[in-house]
Amino acid sequence: MSGYTLYWRRGSGSVVIEAALRMIGADFNCVEMQDSAMCQTPEFLALNPAGKVPVLACPSGPVIAESAAILLVLDDLLPEARLLPPHGTPGRSKAVQWLIFMSANIYTADLRYYYPERHTTDTSPAAAAAIKRQSALDMDRDFAQIASAIEGPFLLGETMTITDVYAAMLADWHAPAMQLPEIATLVAHVLENEAVRTAWENQGFGG
């Protein structure tokens, strides 16, 4: 399998896609988006009208946006790489449920936390501060739910899936999550994986 192109940005959700590509041994090249303006060019908007990374162009033609969707498609294309448990197993249901939970809830809360001004028409500093406070509380609640579902050390027990890598990415953005012992243990085990460590280093995580 060769010829993937990953559109990425330092410190963004593209890190879990690079980790997945490395875990499956795919050939890929990277196009770095240096800033928000680069994500708003007509060329990039033709790939993802939302103007956001990550975006993955597949060698067979499709261009996919949305981090969780990209991971599900990669798993479909290369099921033997076991980014996720096999179709039809209880483990897969659980891994997919938490992957979507994190992408729908925690990723979006992180965006509210880091870019509060984009989430209100009220331009006052107090409004931004209130959005930051609430999004931090939302993430605390959501990470606690994940922590209670972790079998240990990974979500599904002894076998790491891409859902664990996704959780580690989100924990890097929300340091209080590391105070939960189940999350800290999961992250420590995820970072033992060489493919993950390389992606973390390339994309400015772990600092």
Ligand X SMILES: N[C@@H](CCC(=O)N[C@@H](CS)C(=O)NCC(=O)O)C(=O)O
CA distance 68 to 163: 9
52: contact with ligand X by CB under 6 A: yes
Return the residue of 21, 54, 164, 171 that touches ligand X, per CB under 6 A: 54
Separation between Cα atoms, residue 25 and residue 74, nearest integer Å: 12
Q: Rule CB under 6 A: is residue 39 a binding residue for ligand X?
A: yes
The SS3 call for residue 154 is strand
Helix, strand, or coil (residue 159): coil
Distances (CA, A) of 153 to 78, 124, 158: 25, 43, 6
Contact letters for ligand X, residues 67-96 (x by CB under 6 A): x-----------------------------
Copy the structure tokens of residue 29: 């090249």
User: Total number of residues binding ligand X (CB under 6 A)?
Assistant: 13
Query: Which member of 107, 113, 166, 205 binds ligand X (CB under 6 A)?
Result: 107
From candidates 74, 75, 83, 103, binder to ligand X by CB under 6 A: 103
38 scored as a contact of ligand X (CB under 6 A):
no
Residue 169 lies near ligand X (rule: CB under 6 A): no
Cβ atoms of 173 and 115 within 8 Å: the answer is: no
Q: Give the binding site for ligand X (CB under 6 A).
A: 9, 12-13, 36, 39, 52-54, 66-67, 103, 107, 111
